[in-house]
Amino acid sequence: MSYKKTSGHGEWSSRFAFILAATGSAVGLGNIWKFPYITGQNGGGAFVLVYLLCVAGIGLPIMMAEIMMGRRGHQDPISTMQLLAHQSRRDPRWQYLGGLGVLAGFLIMSYYSVIAGWSLSYIVKTLFGYFINTDATRVKHLFEQMMANPLQQIIWHSVFMAATLLVVVRGVRAGLERSVRFLMPALFIILMLLIAYAMTSGSYQQGLDFLFHADFSKIDSHAVLTAMGHAFFTLSLGMGSIMVYGSYLPRHVSIPQTTLIIAGADTLVALLAGLAIFPLVFANNLEVASGPGLIFQTLPLAFGQMTGGWLFGILFFILLFFAALTSSISLIEPAIAWLTQNRQLSREQACIRAGLSCWLLGIAVVFSFNIGSEYTLMGKNLFELLDYLTANLMLPLGGMGIAIFAGWKMHTRDAERELGLSAPLFLIWQFLCRYLAPGAVFLVFLHVVGIL
């Protein structure tokens, strides 16, 4: 077997292009949908502070490791791990770590596309005034009506999957890079418009205080572990996306500097989403700890009651769609990279195979909400099962494996050469990868399986 580093997928044209793409991978439904509601459930400012500390101590070192491994391997995640294990004279079975990431991204994409389709549905619903002067019962009924209608969900799931594949099929520069050059600035502009709108709600200061005033009496071990887990998952770590994006990174680009920018931008989007959402929730006397329904049931009610809510409701769900799209193109890219390199398929053929498979599994996910809801495994329908397996088992194991391989298995001189850190900073990174990050991810793993 040849271990020559080759790649048929091209490179980013610049560091800025890579930053936009990797930030787009990290910025998704987790920032706009999940971060606000888990912050609401865990007391606000103190949770945010714990989350920021976890990003710095856990997310950053693992992201640096994953980008470093991707650039050094310069191939799809499976072939990269195969190459790095050979170079470091380690067990060749480390390639299964890359396979775990590719599989996780593929499975996530199958149900992520369904949820992203909801945002498209809500763009149309808001556009046609479904939420104007409505009440909580009507908003809840509209959501339940959508969930009970498999055909409606399949249509929007199909539209979103097609949009994703239209970007990915064009390759690194013409597809991925060109799309994020438009989508990421547009996402930030819409967020700023929404924040400006929230400032007119009369409750902006209350939302600001909730997000940034730390009351540590509201923090318990569950909140800390939740913050730790979200800090890890929001950066798209352990699913092959960052590794394959790193494989397209030119060698002259500084990995530590770009990682700091990406993690900072991802965190900024989450905080800006909070600044856009919480003032509207408080202004309408809605429940800040309403959980996963905050976006699709609570916020439409707020937009329907406020002056200008029709326009800004449309903008918000367009924002949700953009965030989902930038993540989805990175979720399916590792599988496409593997197919093109290892199955001698053209990029178009790989996109058709991977996309069709994801689409079909996504249809099964749609059915799990309605006509197939009685079919469960371990008390979970297919959507809940895939979400549990990927977010709670596969990604923590993948992230832990990346930290352990980078910290313990790679030759130190190779890691030093790739990262380009000064000796003291490299030792700090190595300590975080060897001890803190794997230990923290292991605690999250124990928490999600119910041991802690």
pLDDT in tens, 168-200: 988 877 777 888 888 888 988 999 999 999 998
The full DSSP string for 364-427 is HHHHTTTTTTT--BTTB-HHHHHHIIIIIIIHHHHHHHHHHIIIIIS-HHHHHHHH---HHHHH
Tell me whether residue 7 is in a domain. Answer: no
Cross-strand pairs, 377: 380
Tally the residues of the chain.
452
pTM summary value: 0.89
Q: What is the CATH number of the domain that holds 172?
A: 1.10.4160
pLDDT at residue 2 is higher than 60: no
pLDDT band at 365 (very low <50, low <70, confident <90, very high): very high
Percent pLDDT > 70 in the chain is 97
Radius of gyration of the chain (CA): 21
pLDDT at residue 451 is higher than 90: no
**What mean pLDDT do residues 91-114 have?**
95
Q: Report d(CA 417, CA 212) in Å as an integer.
A: 39
Tell me whether residue 137 is in a domain. Answer: yes
For the chain, how many structural domains are there in total?
1
**Predicted local distance difference test score (pLDDT) of residue 294:** 77
**Predicted local distance difference test score (pLDDT) of residue 217:** 85
Tell me whether residue 314 is in a domain. Answer: yes
Tell me whether residue 417 is in a domain. Answer: yes
User: Among 125, 127, 173, which Cα is nearest to 145's?
Assistant: 125
Identify whether the C-beta of residue 298 lies closer than 8 Å to the C-beta of residue 75.
Answer: no
Q: How far is CA 201 from the centre of its chain?
A: 29
Place of tokens 């900024």: 268
Tell me whether residue 292 is in a domain. Answer: yes
pLDDT in tens, 215-266: 888 888 878 888 887 887 788 888 889 999 999 888 889 999 999 999 999 9
Angle at 406 between CA 18 and CA 241, to 5 degrees: 35
Tell me whether residue 4 is in a domain. Answer: no
Q: By residue range, what is the domain housing residue 321?
A: 15-448
Instruction: Say how many C-beta atoms besides its own lie within 10 A of residue 172's C-beta.
Output: 23
Q: Report d(CA 231, CA 59) in Å as an integer.
A: 6
pLDDT at residue 7 is higher than 50: no
Tell me whether residue 398 is in a domain. Answer: yes
Q: Report d(CA 25, CA 240) in Å as an integer.
A: 11
Residues 6+ away with beta carbon under 8 Å from 437: 57, 58, 61, 62, 399, 400, 403, 407
**Predicted local distance difference test score (pLDDT) of residue 1:** 42
Query: 3-state DSSP call for residue 74?
Result: coil
Long-range contacts of 350-355 (CB under 8 A, 24+ apart): 351/165, 351/168, 351/169, 354/106, 355/161, 355/164, 355/165
Tell me whether residue 3 is in a domain. Answer: no
User: Among 15, 29, 106, 117, which Cα is nearest to 67's?
Assistant: 15
